[in-house]
Structure 1
Amino acid sequence: MLNKRMNYGILILLCLVFFITPVFASIPLVEEDGHSPFVKIVDDLTDTVVNIKVEYEVKGNFRNYSSPFPFNDDFFKFFFPQPENQRRSVNYGSGFIFKKEGSTVYILTNNHVVGKSDNADITVTLNDKTKYDADVVGLDDKTDVAIIKIEVDKNKDIPIAPFGDSDWIEVGDWVVAIGNPFSENLRGTVTIGVVSAKGRANLNFGADSPVYQDYIQTDAAINPGNSGGPLADINGKVIGINAAISSVSGGNIGIGFAIPINIVKTIINDLIDKGYVERAYLGILPQEITPALMKSLGLENMEGVLIGKVEDDTPAERAGLKKRDVIIEFDGEPVKNLNKFRLMVASKQVGDKVSMTIIRDGKEIKKTAKLEAFPETSTASRNKSVEDDSNWLGIEVQELDSNFAQQFDLDIDEGVIIAKINVDSPAYDSNLNVGDVILEVGDEKIKDIDDYEDAVSKLEKDKAESVLLYVLTPPQFYHYVAVKVK
């Protein structure tokens, strides 16, 4: 019996070996000359990668630790104010050459490498160790992409990094990252890995986090100083700009992110011609569809985006879009989620006509809009406070007064303000904040407290499982919130 099991085990193992061997045999671990296939990729790309050094002055009252006199306390400073002094700060990053016109050489890098370089000195060092002064051509903080330029002898041979197709790569594909980790002494450092994931979004890199995110995630080592360098595919073509890492220590732990080159391609011309990106604008405040919103709106799934507000005198208003519409298709492509929708709109050109499929009152409707240039906008700040209150939703409201409206520059005179939210209430578990203005409850418009109480009482009497609120978070964040009743 034991021999039989062993025979079966050997048979299965042999089958697995014969099945797996052709798969690994198809991946050339070495070329005919005995070298890794990555050697040629590196040879072709390394000369396009540059070191970027940004020097700028930091102003402040810096303590002079070499001074023998104890004159650094606050009492002394009060009577004898110290003059503001300056220190020279130096940052390093990477970039790669993608274009040459005559004597002008254009280099791609990250906005966070050179974007705060007003009155700074930028020096570019090529792989042959020649140094050049550089100027900023264009900046885009919404994607974290920047272009700088240097002037060289027009007869100088300058290698150009070829662009690939970042939509073509798949998870598991080999990638090569090249850059200058930590300092220019380590320039031209090469690391190899695979594509770990695609379409990473909603990542928080601090106050300067890009608005438009669709990152390629890789385990190829990316360290400080690598920012702006190329991420290349197995064919030696650039499919991304190394941009960020996820780390608790500041060093590489195998989670790096690169901006897809296909996003970069759409903004290069604007950055060179205008110095900024002129983006298309629809004129809505879209929001993600949550499970609670899906249920409240009677949707079959969570795909698409919900319109929280249609701005006045915009392409959306002229196209007949309304708040509470759900956009499920944009310019012939399905809308999967909020991040993809933002990218879809941003990828269009000003003046483009786009078709949309929306769901309104359970029916699909077709709309067409002509996109315009994106105007300047401000962001809403949010505050949360909670206190005990006992009612069905756990919300205590007060009248919208002129002082509140004037404080936040609101152009509304109807609605009720959330004054308290009860801890462990249905409202506490939702996305509501103290200070939000409730404009609608379900299908009912709310003018004052009486309207609010009537609408809520009716839903409570009907034993509603969730309540859909239309809310304004000052100063201008209009959105829907579904409160699931326990």
Structure 2
Amino acid sequence: MNGSARLLVIAGAGVLLLAGVGAGVLLTPPERVTVPVLDAPNRPPVVQNVASVRRASELSDAFISIAETVTPAVVRIQAERTVPHPRTGWLPRGLHDFFGGLEQSDSMPLEIPEVGGGTGFIVSSDGYILTNNHVIEGATRIVVSLPDRRMFEAAVVGRDPTTDLAVIRIDARGLPAVFLGDSDEARVGEWVVAIGNPGFDDASTLDFTVTSGIISAKGRPLNIIGVGSETSSDGFRYAIEDFIQTDAVINPGNSGGPLVNLRGAVIGVNTAIATSTGYNQGYGFAIPSNLARRVMTDLIEKGQVERALLGVSIVDVSPEDAEVYGLPSIAGVLVEDFAGDSPARRAGLQRGDVIVEINGQPALRVGQLQRLVAGHAPGERVRLGIIRYGEKREVTVELMRAPVVAAPTPSEPRRTSQPMLGLEIADLDAELARQLGYPRAGGVVITDVAPASPADRKRIGIGHRVVSIDRTPVESAAQARRLLRAARTGQVVSLLLQYPDERTYIANVRVP
């Protein structure tokens, strides 16, 4: 039983217990019942410290305001990827014998879509959406759902695997958009809110969930960017990991959602969790908004990120490094080597130098230095504060352009189109009717529903009878195929379907 089911069972048990208590009261003789309703107005308040309650109420109001303001700009993203069709095993147990040869139908696609996804948030009223690269990587089709239940197909504007960020766009105007705040101003211990969609399919009722917590730490490196990615591992030499850590509840499906401060500004893009169970254990991580803004701007304006580099090989300093290089504290970034045409070396940087500042801002860790450099464009000049064996110095470096890390284009599937909404159908003959439990033969029965197809997403089941299509009664499989194949892209097809016990239901399915 999953967590949601357990929660519902416990709540139900509580209701039953209360009902039992109520029954006991009704059986008590009337003269013994005391109903102190008239005395209630004279009772002292439960909480005596009104000022404390007021402060707590103000904090609660802040959370409410954030939820009401930001949630309309949060979206659910479904990303379809193609996988080989399981040519066998697609029928429920017990149906193989009488559906037999239909498993090898030539009309079945060689590849089928697999649906995954996550969360994103709208950054402009004309439909630009920021999310994680891993949410949409390899997708052949992206569908965005808004909180008002409208759905749009999205196009990829650009992706940056080295920061795990991506921008997509939907064809809509007048949309609510978030405000990107300054993540450098975020402080450990301040309240934050995470908004996202923790789950898909059966868990879609949890969409647009709001959770709260605090910033637990800043500058966390996780060494996760590029794990399982389609991008060449060489590209991840330039990966930037400088995460904000939070204990706001984040679960699978929250990836790409906003991390918001109490002023309603987005200060991070929720990206990862550290867990031994696959679900939240209090360790969530978000990409800082300042880095996200820089990447997003490049992707929208240029379609790719133009990354600036110092041209150095660096590591965090250790206690031993601090002693050897005469550092006042165990903080900074040690220069170990240089790229072939390093502008830092040309500017006078040497092996063993420790970088502690860039343009007056502290650079205490590798991730922090990388993020600060990434905030500049190639060709810009930056001032590096360094310590060389105990002596403070300043070096000005003109940043070089990093090689562009190409985000691979998804391979073209061989046959990904899904005619007839992903349905396979056959005439309902006497033998099929008997096996499926229909009282009589006649009409058309569904023999397969392609995984992740439009029909599958509407929960249309194998073995159900097709009564009518767009209010046209269906008499044969050939007729049903003609009606389904005539449906145009974007059209909603209305299916009247029937269970073996003759109960019916309606499925209105949009043609992709």
CA RMSD of aligned residues (A): 3.0
- Between the aligned partners of 1:287 and 1:160, the Cα distance in structure 2 is 38
Q: Which amino acid aligns with 1:97?
A: I
SS of residue matched to 1:267: helix
Match of 1:324 among 338, 345, 352: 352
Q: Which residue of 2 aligns with 1:173?
A: 190
Q: Which residue of 2 aligns with 1:382?
A: none
Q: Which amino acid aligns with 1:178?
A: I
Q: What are the superposed Cα offsets for residues 287-342 of structure 1, whole Å, 9 maximum, x if unpaired?
A: 22222333344544433222211223221232122222232332223331222222
- Between the aligned partners of 1:170 and 1:321, the Cα distance in structure 2 is 32
- Return closer, same or farther for 1:260/1:297 CA change in 2, 3 Å cut-off: closer
Task: Report if aligned partners of 1:141, 1:208 keep a CA contact under 8 Å in 2.
Answer: no
1:272 and 2:300 aligned: yes
- Return closer, same or farther for 1:371/1:57 CA change in 2, 3 Å cut-off: same
Q: What are the superposed Cα offsets for residues 213-232 of structure 1, whole Å, 9 maximum, x if unpaired?
A: 22222222111111111121
Q: Could you tell me how far 1:27 is from its partner in structure 2?
A: 2.8
Q: What are the superposed Cα offsets for residues 416-457 of structure 1, whole Å, 9 maximum, x if unpaired?
A: xxxxxxxxxxxxxxxxxxxxxxxxxxxxxxxxxxxxxxxxxx
* Within-5 A mapping of 1:174-193: 174-183=191-200, 184-193=204-213
Q: Which residue of 1 aligns with 2:83?
A: 58
- Between the aligned partners of 2:66 and 2:386, the Cα distance in structure 1 is 46
Q: Could you tell me how far 1:371 is from its partner in structure 2?
A: 0.8
- Return closer, same or farther for 1:172/1:26 CA change in 2, 3 Å cut-off: farther
- Between the aligned partners of 2:225 and 2:308, the Cα distance in structure 1 is 25
Q: Which residue of 2 aligns with 1:115?
A: 137
Q: Which amino acid aligns with 2:158?
A: G
1:138 and 2:158 aligned: yes
Q: Could you tell me how far 1:354 is from its partner in structure 2?
A: 1.4
Match of 1:88 among 113, 119, 122: 113
State the TM-score, normalized to the length of structure 1.
0.62
- Return closer, same or farther for 1:171/1:287 CA change in 2, 3 Å cut-off: closer
Match of 2:222 among 202, 213, 238: 202
Q: Which residue of 2 aligns with 1:124?
A: 144
- Between the aligned partners of 1:352 and 1:206, the Cα distance in structure 2 is 28
Q: Which residue of 2 aligns with 1:38?
A: 63
- Return closer, same or farther for 1:26/1:215 CA change in 2, 3 Å cut-off: farther
Match of 1:158 among 167, 175, 184: 175
Task: Report if aligned partners of 1:61, 1:84 keep a CA contact under 8 Å in 2.
Answer: no
1:302 and 2:322 aligned: no
Moved beyond 6 Å, runs of 4+: none
* Within-5 A mapping of 1:335-374: 335-374=363-402
- Between the aligned partners of 1:173 and 1:337, the Cα distance in structure 2 is 22
* Within-5 A mapping of 1:370-409: 370-375=398-403
Count of residue pairs the alignment pairs up: 334
Bigger RCO of structures 1 and 2 (CA < 8 A, at least 6 apart): 2
Q: Which amino acid aligns with 1:236?
A: G
Query: Mean Cα displacement is larger for which, 198-207 or 368-377?
Result: 198-207
Identity of aligned residues (%): 41
- Between the aligned partners of 1:247 and 1:361, the Cα distance in structure 2 is 41
Q: Could you tell me how far 1:177 is from its partner in structure 2?
A: 1.5
- Between the aligned partners of 2:148 and 2:90, the Cα distance in structure 1 is 40
- Return closer, same or farther for 1:149/1:23 CA change in 2, 3 Å cut-off: same
- Between the aligned partners of 2:345 and 2:226, the Cα distance in structure 1 is 34
Q: Could you tell me how far 1:180 is from its partner in structure 2?
A: 1.2
Q: Could you tell me how far 1:135 is from its partner in structure 2?
A: 0.6
- Return closer, same or farther for 1:24/1:292 CA change in 2, 3 Å cut-off: same
Segments of 5+ residues of structure 2 without an aligned counterpart are 1-48, 98-107, 230-235, 406-512
- Between the aligned partners of 2:137 and 2:143, the Cα distance in structure 1 is 14
- Between the aligned partners of 1:143 and 1:205, the Cα distance in structure 2 is 7
- Return closer, same or farther for 1:166/1:295 CA change in 2, 3 Å cut-off: closer
Q: Which amino acid aligns with 1:213?
A: E
- Return closer, same or farther for 1:26/1:194 CA change in 2, 3 Å cut-off: farther
Q: Which residue of 1 aligns with 2:454?
A: none
Q: Which amino acid aligns with 1:190?
A: V
- Between the aligned partners of 2:218 and 2:263, the Cα distance in structure 1 is 19
Q: Which residue of 1 aligns with 2:15?
A: none
- Return closer, same or farther for 1:269/1:376 CA change in 2, 3 Å cut-off: closer
Q: What are the superposed Cα offsets for residues 385-441 of structure 1, whole Å, 9 maximum, x if unpaired?
A: xxxxxxxxxxxxxxxxxxxxxxxxxxxxxxxxxxxxxxxxxxxxxxxxxxxxxxxxx
- The structure in which a higher percent of residues are helix is 2
